Amino acid sequence: MPIAICPLPSPPPLPMSHDPLQILSERFLDAMRGAFGDRLPEGADPMIAASRNPQFGDYQSNAAMPLAKALGMKPRDIAAQIVEKLDLSGVAEPVDEHTIAGPGFINIRLDRGALAGLLDALDSPDLGIEPPESPSTIVVDLCGVNLAKQMHVGHLRSTVIGDTIARVFERLGHRVIRQNHLGDWGLPIAMVTRAVMDRAAKGEIDLDAIDLDELDALYKSAQKSCDPESAGEAAAENLARAKTTLVALQSGDAETVAAWKRISDITVNECVAVCARLHATVLPEHTAGESTYRDELAGIVDDLLSRGVAEESRGAVIVDLKDAGIAEPLLVRKSDGGFLYATTDMAAIRRRVQKFGGDRIIYAVDARQSLHFRQLFAAAKKAGYAKRPDGTDAQLDHAAFGTVLGEDNRPFKTRTGENVKLADLLDQAVERAGAAVKEKNPDLSPEDQRIVAEAVGIGAIKYTDLANDRVRDYVFSFDRMLAFEGNTGPYLQYALVRIRSILRKAKAEHGVDEAALGGDGAMLRIEAPEEKDLALLILRFPGVVRTVADSLEPHRLCGYLYEVSTAFSGFFQNCPVLRAQDDVMRLSRLRLCRLTGRVLESGLETLGIVALDRM
RNA sequence: GCGCGCGUAGCUCAAUUGGAUAGAGCGUCGGCCUCCGGAGCCGAAGGUUGCUGGUUCGAGUCCAGCCGCGCGUACCA
């Protein structure tokens, strides 16, 4: 098909996207083709971006500079020729002396009518995020609790970050499969199972009534009893009994399996309850314990050996990864014949890609396991376990996160060096939030205060965890996250509360129903600078959600929502809504409020943070 | 030793994946309530982005080498 050398006299009228980045990209690409024709390099990018500084317009194209070399021209001349062919009718203001600036930046200012039109188009049920033409299947590994152990801060990050990543892909219309890779197999599990069975036999515990706190204590004492350092002579015998229990468990001994199952149920129930309180979608059906792979492990190793992917070394079986640039091999079988977590993880990749149809497998796991995942991913690809039906490999990502630190900059622990129980941490946040709510809004009923405290306290913890750059460590501080100032969860919740308050009042005092504000009910008029700032931000929403999906960095959504909230505050301060000069302006501003509120609602929902009517 | 990560205002953190004059909050100083929720808004001061080179029109961002901190590094998970 021949390429049109001449610029089209008018842009194609349809389809009209509401994403300015896309519209401008198309217009600029047309202009670039018009200006340079066949000389335009393959894949030349208009490089449209929202401008950081209002003085440089609303959007800018940085296309001219990279083209300088290929075209053998000065960037400013290139920019001039692009602008010459540029048709921005119906989108942006005409060019002026500021259009080309610096080395060759092309600055664009949307015209007010187009801005309103774009906002209007975005004001759809999906807020400008259309379902993908072909949805992908995304598997998210999250939570990762261990049998007979309470959830602690380490699980907080995996659960919160993993759930948010899952929500982002769901928001974009993809199919998401959550996997809680429960640590329910192996020698440590056998130790605690043995301990539980012994105590039950002696009548010291009641298996029907035992709770996770007791199991947690038993887990620790069982570990100690097998450690020569603390148990001395008895350790060897205890360890031997644990190994015997492991064999019994593996061979399906009814009594052992029953005890193990009971421990598992208690753990999963408690985990699901904590996750529910965290407002994170982790349900019993997402549980995929290591035990569910137990029958595949021998086959995995045999398969790897028979195809030459793995080899024997020092009595163990390894996958050599030097060709992938990794010095350390992946161990898939110990010299005593036992399997390792790497073996299980290999089986998990195979299941997730080849059985579940995963296109992208994402692990929300501590950064300290980086090497393990580099090895695992390389080995899985080498073995072909990540291969999709079309022959290409699924994308494997380790969404690594840093450590939660205490005020002393050491990993967050109690004074005695124990892990902090996650449920206790949540209680404390809710209690502190409750005190603040009581002080700031004493008129709320006790019941409402309780609901608000729960949403604010939990939201504050989650938001802090999500708002920091994922891979960095961060310092846990109730005071900072509950200060209700700056980039915090409560600030976003408050911004939304104010919006909802206005909408309630609009109905009560002006009879304006919220539903009537969509579509033709209220014409948008974007005039004041604060209105324009807010409008431009709202238009960025779909792009931000996609960026989070690409980068797996939820903090980008947090930062964006914070910007929307501050822009709304500026608007709210300077632009009277209910007391606007006339009905048209009032309706326009109410609609802008509602649209802002919908972006915040959708954003908070994607972060898994509860939106409130009052606080 | 080797590998991975991090280093940005006094403190806690951003910076549209290489774009223009590095931005927020806290703290400090100064303003804004006959006004839709003040848990708010506006302003001021505060920076050699750990150091030194390099790549290019352009570097907090990429590369190399140092410095500092953290975490890993063959049979725990």
Which residue gives the smallest C-alpha to C1' distance to B70?
A: A473
Q: Are residues A501 and A590 in the same domain?
A: yes
Residues 200-259 of A with CB under 7 A from strand B: none
What angle (nearest 5°) sits at the alpha carbon of residue A551, between those of residues A344 and A172? 90
What residue numbers bound the domain in which A245 lies? Answer: 187-283
The end-to-end CA distance of chain A, in Å, is 61
Cβ < 7 Å from strand B, A residues 517-546: none
Same domain, A141 and A88: no
Q: Is residue A130 part of a domain?
A: no
Whether any strand B atom is under 7 angstroms from the Cβ of A496: the reply reads: no
> Do A471 and A500 fall into the same domain?
no
Residues A173 and A210 placed together within one structural domain of the fold: no
Comparing C-alpha atoms, which of A293, A244, A291 is closest to residue A268? Answer: A291
Q: What pLDDT does residue A410 have? A: 86
Please, are residues A287 and A183 in contact by the beta-carbon 8 Å criterion? Answer: no
A497: Cβ under 7 Å from strand B?
Answer: yes
Any strand B atom closer than 7 Å to A568 CB: no
Length of chain A (residues): 615
Residue A584's CATH number: 1.10.730.10
What pLDDT, on a 0 to 100 scale, did the predictor assign at position A61?
96
CA dist A172 and A488 (Å) reads 25
Q: Is residue A250 classed exposed, middle or buried when 0-12, 13-18 and 19+ CB atoms within 10 A define those classes?
A: middle
Q: Which of residues 465-484 of A touch strand B (CB under 7 A)?
A: 467-469, 471-475, 480, 483-484
Residue A357, phi then psi, degrees to nearest 5: 75, 30
Domain identity same for A376 and A462: no
**Closest by CA position to A561, among listed A526, A528, A601, A612:** A601
Separation in Å, CA A405 to CA A465, A478, A483, A484, A495: 12, 12, 19, 21, 29
CATH of the domain at A89: 3.30.1360.70
Question: How far is residue A94's CA from residue A218's CA, in Å, rounded to a whole number?
Answer: 74
Chain A 394-413 residues whose Cβ is under 7 Å from strand B: 402-403
Q: Partners of A59 in the beta sheet? A: A50, A108
Protein residue nearest nucleotide B35, by CA to C1': A576
Q: What pLDDT is recorded for position A190?
A: 95
- Both A106 and A144 in one domain: the answer is no
Residue that is last in its domain, among A268, A283, A298: A283
Do A305 and A177 fall into the same domain? yes
Q: Among the three residues A229, A264, A283, which one is the final residue of a domain in this structure?
A: A283
Residue A416 lies in a domain: no
Same domain, A468 and A518: no
CA of A372: nearest nucleotide by C1' is B72
Q: Could you say which residues of chain A have pLDDT below 70?
A: 1-17
Nearest to A118 by CA among A109, A110, A129: A110
Same-domain status, A174 and A297? yes
Structure tokens, A305: 């050996």
Asked whether residue A99 is domain-assigned, the answer is yes
Alpha carbons A511 and A503: distance in angstroms, whole number: 10
Q: Find which nucleotide's C1' atom is closest to A315's CA.
A: B75
- Count how many domains chain A has: 5
Look at residues A558, A611, A607 and name the one whose alpha carbon lies nearest to residue A165.
Answer: A607
Residue A226 covered by a domain: yes
Instruction: Find tokens 């994308």 and name the residue.
Output: A395
Residues 38-97 of A with CB under 7 A from strand B: 47, 49-53, 55-57, 60, 62, 65-66, 68-69, 75
CATH, residue A148: 3.40.50.620
Q: Do A430 and A568 lie in a common domain?
A: no
Of A337, A317, A319, A340, the closest CA to residue A328 belongs to A319
Tell me, what's the pLDDT at A194? 95
**Does residue A542 lie within any of the structural domains?**
yes
Torsion angle in degrees (nearest 10) through CA of A274, A278, A279, A281 = -50
Of the residues A283, A302, A335, which one is the last residue of a structural domain? A283
- A327 & A368 share domain: yes
Round to whole Å and give the CA distance between A272 and A608. Answer: 15
Based on the fold, state whether residues A169 and A297 are members of the same structural domain: yes
What are the residues whose beta carbons fall under 8 Å from the beta carbon of A65, sequence distance 6 or more? A75, A103, A104
3-state secondary structure of A496: helix
Q: Is residue A409 part of a domain?
A: no
Three-state secondary structure call for residue A387: strand
Residue A131 lies inside a defined structural domain of this protein: no
